[in-house]
Structure 1
Amino acid sequence: MSKGTMVKCNGRPRILGASLGSHIGRRVTIFGEIIS
């Protein structure tokens, strides 16, 4: 939940989703939007 995590999630959430999976990708994207 630190700024580093926020920047990483906001930096490339779609790439993470495509790499790990749509479920995790959606969670990362939604989480990033909520934090932002």
Structure 2
Amino acid sequence: MGIYLNVFMEKNSLLFLKTILFTSELKLPKIVAIILCVR
């Protein structure tokens, strides 16, 4: 987990971290699909 956090922080992908946290808690692939659509 630490390595992943370092990589994300280097890429400044706070949104991605929040998305992963939300997906882990809610376990809803809809969030990922929405983000992919936004991108």
Q: Which has the higher contact order (CA 8 A, sep 6+)?
A: 1
Instruction: Give me the TM-score of the superposition, normalised by structure 1.
Output: 0.49
Higher radius of gyration, 1 or 2: 2
